[in-house]
Amino acid sequence: MIEIKDLHKSYHMGSNSLHVLKGINFSVKEGELVAIMGSSGSGKSTLLNILGMLDNLDEGEYLLDGVPIKNLSETKAANYRNKFLGFIFQSFNLINYKTAWENVALPLYYQGVNRKVRKEKAVKYLESVGLGPWVDHLPSELSGGQKQRVAIARALAAEPKVMLADEPTGALDSKTSHEVMDLIQKINDQGNTILVVTHEEDIAHMCKRIVHLKDGVIVEDSVINQVRVSPHVQ
């Protein structure tokens, strides 16, 4: 699903150049649940941003579902993001003046789906994350965990090939973190490919594979025994 060869990325700030990713080789198959771990500054978020086409790569090759991703125009990148990717952010990034279902329906709006179908789908996905009764609520009326579940429903709505989660539990307490991870595991069970960036060991172990990043290179890439959340969540 994802194939990366010899990926380099550096940031320039004035005369200083910061080489963040120094040759990443990495691939993800369909249905995987991968945790990308590393301390801050290891380049894990940069990698996710490049995977998410939110940022451009400098050198190397990136194939997403067989499509080469390089030097895309803004419009093309937008179309690919819309079709291929679902994002889950640490700070949720919901649009605060839109209700839960309208937030979820937003990617569908950019797909050109008509309003009626949008609402049906959005409500369906909100129900699937357990927010059926909160469909018409604004983000400000929801708890952190609920907000993140709205964001997950939004990422699901576009039926993406890959879901990218950047510290999805970073702003949540441990109980809600586990709820969110439970949801992510269940979505993965249905065959969705998911990448989770995290710096928390326990969250990483709820995935099926852990990729360790350090100073811009992959230092460890191992398949692990997944810790299921379900028994812990009541």
Partner 1 sequence: MFNRDLWSEIFHSIKSNKLRTFLTGFSVAWGIFILVLLLASVDGMKNGFTKQFNDDATNSIFIYPGTTTKPYGGFEAGRRIQFDNEDIEYIEKSFPGYYEYITPRFTKSVTARVGNETGTYSARAVNPDHQQIERTVINNGRYINENDIKNTLKVAVIGKVISDELFKDQDPVGNNIILNDLSYKVIGVFSDDGNEREERNMYVPVTTFQRLYGNTNKIDQIALTYNPEFNFAEAINFSDNLEVILKRRLVIDPDDQGALYMNNYAEGFSDVSNFTTMLSVISIAIGMLILIAGIVGIGNILVFIIKERTKEIGVRKALGARPYDVIKLVLLESVFITSVSGMIGLFFAMGLVALISPIVDAPAFSNPSVDTVTVITSTIVLIVAGVLAGLIPAIKAAKVKPIVALRAD
Residues of this chain that bind partner 1 (CB under 8 A): 49, 52, 54-56, 74-75, 78-79, 81-83, 87, 89, 93-95, 97-98, 102, 106-107, 109-111, 114-115, 154, 158
Question: Given the complex with partner 1, which of 32 and 102 has the nearer CB atom?
Answer: 102
Q: How far is the CB of 39 from partner 1 (least distance, A)?
A: 19
Question: Given the complex with partner 1, which of 109 and 171 has the nearer CB atom?
Answer: 109
Question: Given the complex with partner 1, which of 12 and 222 has the nearer CB atom?
Answer: 12
Stretch (H or E) spanning 45: helix 44-51
Tell me the two tokens of residue 192: 């969705």
Report the phi/psi class of residue 72: left, alpha or beta, with left for phi > 0 and alpha for psi in -120 to 50.
Answer: beta
Rounded to 10 deg, the angle between the 100-111 and 115-128 helix axes is 130
Q: How far is the CB of 116 from partner 1 (least distance, A)?
A: 11
Q: How far is the CB of 74 from partner 1 (least distance, A)?
A: 5
Q: Is 23 exposed, middle or buried (0-12, 13-18, 19+ CB in 10 A)?
A: middle
Question: Given the complex with partner 1, which of 55 and 65 has the nearer CB atom?
Answer: 55
Q: How far is the CB of 170 from partner 1 (least distance, A)?
A: 14
Question: Given the complex with partner 1, which of 38 and 107 has the nearer CB atom?
Answer: 107
Chain centroid, CA 93 distance in Å: 12
Quickly tell me which residue has 């460890």 as its tokens: 220
Q: How far is the CB of 66 from partner 1 (least distance, A)?
A: 20
DSSP secondary structure letters along 82-144: HHHEEEE-TT----TTS-HHHHHHHHHHHHT--HHHHHHHHHHHHHHTT-GGGTT--GGGS-H
Question: Given the complex with partner 1, which of 38 and 52 has the nearer CB atom?
Answer: 52
Q: How far is the CB of 178 from partner 1 (least distance, A)?
A: 26
How far apart are the C-alpha atoms of 33 and 191, rounded to whole Å?
10
